[in-house]
């Protein structure tokens, strides 16, 4: 056995213990001789020659004051910070984890600072939020590392007992699911990360539940053949957790299997009746437990949350609104909707009245005349419009695409054989929802004819050719201030955007970051900008508005954008 050298990579006290063990084996017993051996085994980079060391205790003190030891302690703290707990099911070793953690606490000299130890230990469970929360609650009154280790062992033992019970209860999500113990030994499914899209499920599940859910392929085939299928009602429906499309099972037409085979990473589907999840790639049921397959538990929670009132929803969906035919004008919707900018649609009554808080309103589109109005929870202009007009009974929420009949006083849902015109309206709006302004039936007017003739900077500051060329490319984008985008400025969606009519570059207003004024001051003859919300033009040189009215300015920008 060779005596270990001291190079700053071990705690001085631990190193002295190893030296004493070596000396004992070699029958070296005098403190003076042991001290001499210790000095000889210290790395030359660690200089202790200036210290008059007379015993082992003084040597340990000098070594602890050395910069190498400070670096060693800081490194040990960083190791604690990045240390992660791995459960036994995933190949982890609890004893090794506990031993290494306590050893690093000693190296970092924080084993007496119990609050700091708790912080690092809790952080080690960041991969398992359930365990992290349980450990945090149970370690509040603990005052030593030994108690901490004991409590940790108790928690792990309790969790192992839960797994061996006849049912497993998943407590981390809003709903509770019970799975027979026969499934509890299932392996962790490696396809969950790529095949389960929780965000898409949360966004789409409400629209799915609010319609009569059937296999999309079977419905398509039924429509194409013009022969309603009698088997649709009795099918077992499985929802793909990647794209959220429903398909029938292998015991019906097998469209779920077909969907998996045709698409990459669409491996997992969930039964909408029993909530069992099946992985086509692994060929087994994927069962969530406390430490694995948690993505499935989240999906189950999302679906069950919206299925609690499914019987009520179905009764609502069975209702056939008698006002659909007279109150939904599909031809007008097809013609006028593409000419509207969905991201900037406001209640027309509120705009005319210069009402505030337009951006916070819920907008409903009348499906008879295609005019947008605010909801009953805002200024109630949607209800007012219905009361003043004949056969303007149905409006569509532009946020979640639900249709409401003011005459029936209830939502109108499309199904396989009812209210199909509503489905057409929803499809048209969703299709164009991210498109921008297209050509409208407006007369061709010269922009110079509309500008205030008193402004002498119009001719040199308005470039019609560049505006006509560049504006169609700008409008489809979600237009933001170019300078703010380059600077990664926050709150871009709340800015007022002004378009320079010389170079066609968008900038924020004087009440935001003032990049519009900055652009004018830096460029020659870039005097006039147009507000893309109100269509007012402002001349920075003259310091006044140039357009006489909003209506004329609107015609200009629409003619230019076409």
d(CA 458, CA 467): 14
Residues 123 and 211 in one domain: no
- Token code pair at residue 240: 């793909």
Mean pLDDT calculated for residue range 102-122: 88
Residues 352 and 306 in one domain: no
Per-residue pLDDT of 186-207, as tens digits, reads 567 888 888 898 888 877 776 5
- Token code pair at residue 352: 């005319």
Q: Is residue 313 over pLDDT 70?
A: no
What is the per-residue pLDDT for 417? 63
What is the per-residue pLDDT for 432? 63
Q: Domain for residue 467, yes or no? A: yes
What is the per-residue pLDDT for 550? 37
Domain span at 60: 12-65
Mean pLDDT calculated for residue range 538-556: 62
Supply the DSSP symbol for 42.
Answer: B
Q: Domain for residue 481, yes or no? A: yes
Residues 214 and 308 in one domain: yes
Range with the poorest average pLDDT among 11-25, 337-351, 510-524: 337-351
**CA Rg value for the chain:** 36
Q: Is residue 244 over pLDDT 80?
A: yes
Mean pLDDT calculated for residue range 503-524: 86
Q: Is residue 472 over pLDDT 70?
A: no
d(CA 286, CA 269): 10
Residues 60 and 114 in one domain: no
Q: Pairing between strand 497-500 and 506-508?
A: antiparallel
Q: Is residue 27 over pLDDT 80?
A: yes
What is the per-residue pLDDT for 338? 66
d(CA 51, CA 450): 90
Range with the poorest average pLDDT among 220-224, 293-297, 492-496: 492-496
- Token code pair at residue 447: 């922009």
What is the per-residue pLDDT for 260? 92
What are residue 6's phi and psi, to 5 degrees? Answer: -105, 115
Mean pLDDT calculated for residue range 310-338: 74
pLDDT, greater one: 475 or 17: 17
Q: Are 168 and 209 in contact (CB under 8 A)?
A: no
Residues 303 and 382 in one domain: no
What is the per-residue pLDDT for 459? 83
What is the per-residue pLDDT for 210? 45
What is the per-residue pLDDT for 366? 92
E strand or H helix at 93: none
Q: Domain for residue 270, yes or no? A: yes
* H and E: helices and strands count for the chain: 25, 17
Q: Domain for residue 409, yes or no? A: yes
Residue 504, helix vs strand vs coil:
coil
Residues 297 and 384 in one domain: no
Mean pLDDT calculated for residue range 142-156: 85
Q: Residue 259 — very low, low, confident or very high, per pLDDT cuts 50/70/90?
A: very high
Where helices occur in 404-502 by DSSP H, the ranges are 420-432, 447-450, 458-461, 464-474, 482-486
pLDDT, greater one: 386 or 273: 386
Q: Is residue 118 over pLDDT 80?
A: yes
Range with the poorest average pLDDT among 43-57, 213-227, 345-359, 425-439: 425-439
Residues 482 and 545 in one domain: yes
Calculate the CA 151 to chain-centre distance.
35
Residue 196, helix vs strand vs coil:
coil
- Token code pair at residue 77: 């703290």
Q: Whose CA is closest to 114, among 148, 70, 73? A: 148
Q: Domain for residue 212, yes or no? A: yes
- Token code pair at residue 404: 């409401």
Packing angle of the helix pair 67-82, 56-65 (nearest 10 deg): 70
Residues 293 and 339 in one domain: no
Domain boundary among 313, 331, 350: 313
Q: Is residue 117 over pLDDT 80?
A: yes
- Token code pair at residue 386: 């219905």
Q: Is residue 349 over pLDDT 80?
A: yes
Q: Residue 135 — very low, low, confident or very high, per pLDDT cuts 50/70/90?
A: confident
Q: Is residue 175 over pLDDT 50?
A: no
Residues 217 and 137 in one domain: no
Instruction: Say what percent of the chain tops pLDDT 70.
Output: 77
pLDDT, greater one: 551 or 525: 525
Q: Is residue 167 over pLDDT 80?
A: no
Q: Domain for residue 199, yes or no? A: yes
Q: Whose CA is closest to 78, among 132, 129, 136, 123? A: 123
Residues 200 and 309 in one domain: yes
Residues 369 and 403 in one domain: yes
Q: Residue 357 — very low, low, confident or very high, per pLDDT cuts 50/70/90?
A: low
Q: Whose CA is closest to 82, among 96, 100, 68, 94? A: 100
Q: Residue 561 — very low, low, confident or very high, per pLDDT cuts 50/70/90?
A: very low
pLDDT, greater one: 351 or 327: 327
d(CA 119, CA 429): 52
pLDDT, greater one: 250 or 171: 250
Domain boundary among 313, 339, 361: 313
Give the predicted TM-score (pTM) of the model: 0.33
Q: Residue 182 — very low, low, confident or very high, per pLDDT cuts 50/70/90?
A: very low
Q: Whose CA is closest to 284, among 157, 396, 191, 409? A: 191
Per-residue pLDDT of 88-104, as tens digits, reads 777 788 888 889 988 99
User: Which residues share a beta bridge with 271?
Assistant: 238
Residues 373 and 387 in one domain: yes
Q: Domain for residue 438, yes or no? A: no
What is the per-residue pLDDT for 415? 65
Range with the poorest average pLDDT among 27-31, 317-321, 396-400, 418-422: 317-321
Residue 153, helix vs strand vs coil:
helix
Q: In the chain, how many domains are there?
A: 5
d(CA 407, CA 387): 10
Per-residue pLDDT of 473-491, as tens digits, reads 665 446 788 888 887 776 6
The CATH number for 477's domain is 3.30.40.10
Mean pLDDT calculated for residue range 311-340: 74
Per-residue pLDDT of 378-418, as tens digits, reads 788 999 999 999 999 999 988 878 888 998 888 887 765 67
Domain boundary among 144, 162, 180: 162
What is the per-residue pLDDT for 355? 67
Residue 369, helix vs strand vs coil:
coil
Q: Is residue 273 over pLDDT 90?
A: no
Q: Domain for residue 356, yes or no? A: yes
Mean pLDDT calculated for residue range 230-236: 70
Q: Residue 420 — very low, low, confident or very high, per pLDDT cuts 50/70/90?
A: confident
């Amino acid at each position: 056995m060779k005596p270990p050298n001291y190079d700053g990579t071990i705690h001085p006290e631990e190193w002295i213990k190893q030296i004493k063990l070596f000396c004992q084996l070699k029958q070296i017993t005098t403190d003076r001789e042991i001290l001499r051996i210790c000095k000889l085994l210290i790395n030359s980079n660690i200089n202790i020659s200036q210290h008059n060391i007379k015993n082992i205790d003084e040597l340990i003190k000098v070594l602890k004051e050395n910069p190498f030891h400070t670096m060693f302690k800081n490194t040990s703290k960083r190791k604690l910070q990045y240390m992660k707990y791995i459960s036994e099911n995933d190949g982890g070793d609890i004893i090794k984890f506990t031993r290494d953690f306590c050893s690093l606490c000693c190296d970092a000299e924080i084993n007496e600072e119990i609050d700091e130890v708790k912080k690092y230990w809790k952080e080690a469970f960041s991969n398992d939020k359930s365990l992290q929360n349980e450990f945090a609650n149970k370690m509040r009154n603990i005052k030593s590392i030994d108690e901490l280790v004991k409590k940790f062992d108790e928690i792990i033992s309790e969790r192992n007992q839960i797994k061996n019970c006849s049912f497993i209860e998943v407590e981390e999500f809003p709903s509770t699911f019970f799975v027979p113990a026969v499934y509890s030994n299932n392996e962790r499914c490696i396809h969950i990360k790529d095949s389960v899209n929780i965000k898409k499920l949360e966004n789409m599940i409400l629209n799915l539940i609010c319609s009569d859910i059937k296999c999309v392929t079977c419905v398509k085939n039924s429509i194409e053949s013009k022969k309603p299928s009698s088997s649709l009602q009795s099918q077992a429906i499985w929802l793909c957790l990647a794209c959220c499309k429903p398909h029938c099972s292998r015991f019906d037409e097998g469209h779920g299997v077909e969907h998996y085979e045709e698409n990459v990473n669409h491996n997992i589907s969930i039964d909408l009746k029993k909530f069992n999840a099946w992985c086509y790639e692994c060929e087994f049921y994927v069962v969530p437990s406390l430490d694995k397959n948690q993505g499935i538990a989240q999906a189950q929670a999302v679906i069950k949350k919206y299925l609690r009132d499914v019987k009520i929803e179905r009764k609502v969906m069975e209702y056939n609104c008698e006002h659909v035919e007279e109150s939904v004008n599909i031809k007008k919707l097809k013609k006028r909707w593409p000419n509207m900018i969905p991201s900037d649609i406001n209640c027309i009554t509120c705009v005319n009245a210069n009402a505030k808080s337009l951006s916070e309103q819920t907008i409903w589109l009348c499906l008879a005349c295609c005019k947008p109005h605010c909801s009953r929870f805002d200024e109630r202009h949607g209800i007012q419009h219905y009361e003043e007009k004949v056969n303007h009974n149905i409006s569509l929420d532009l946020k979640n695409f639900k249709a409401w009949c003011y005459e029936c006083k209830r939502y109108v849902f499309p199904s396989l054989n009812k209210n199909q015109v509503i489905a057409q309206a929803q499809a048209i709006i969703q299709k164009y929802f991210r498109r921008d302004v297209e050509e409208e039936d407006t007369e061709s007017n010269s922009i110079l004819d509309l500008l205030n003739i008193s402004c002498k900077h119009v001719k040199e500051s308005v470039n019609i050719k560049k505006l006509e060329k560049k504006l169609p490319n700008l409008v489809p984008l979600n237009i933001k201030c170019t300078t703010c985008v380059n600077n990664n400025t926050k709150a871009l969606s709340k800015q007022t955007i002004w378009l320079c009519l010389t170079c066609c570059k968008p900038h924020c207003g004087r009440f935001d970051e003032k990049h519009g004024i900055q652009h004018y001051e830096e460029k020659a003859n870039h005097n006039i900008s147009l507000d893309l919300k109100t269509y007012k033009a402002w001349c920075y040189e003259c310091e006044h508005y140039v357009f006489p009215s909003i209506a004329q300015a609107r015609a200009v920008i629409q003619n230019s954008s076409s």
